[in-house]
Chain A
């Protein structure tokens, strides 16, 4: 069964304290792993797509990496405005549906 699991459920950081969020996935033939950011009461906003193991992408303080079984979202020197829920998702085996993890709620304190 296609599945996405994110950890931790919540993460509290001090401003400037770097950390990583984890996304482990089970799918037959990965056709894309996605990271989204969601602010409270808003729709998710696309951040990155990764397609193959070893691939990395960066945007400001965020860096996403991918292995054969998991992806990490590294946050370097976070700021309070990075506080949000980060969602990981993969395409299902058929390729038409996107399966989401439950998300990691990130709180960054000034």
Chain B
């Protein structure tokens, strides 16, 4: 079983749509959780950290369920500029100090 699993998609949605991505992680000792965004041929950029209490940043909402070892990202009112690969990332667990990336979910927002 992979340490971090994501549905690779692709997700193709129209502008204005709401889209949700899910991610599961295998190691219950994992300590920190993030969503990164990566544009084609660019470096990953931190989108937001994920907390058990849930956190929101504008159109983006992230949620962590430690009991189910499940992380989610919700994007509301999708924009064309949201088209990217979204990476679920977990820190700690099997190797302290190591970021483990999911395979990424490809999102394409079309007019």
Q: Do A and B come from one complex?
A: no
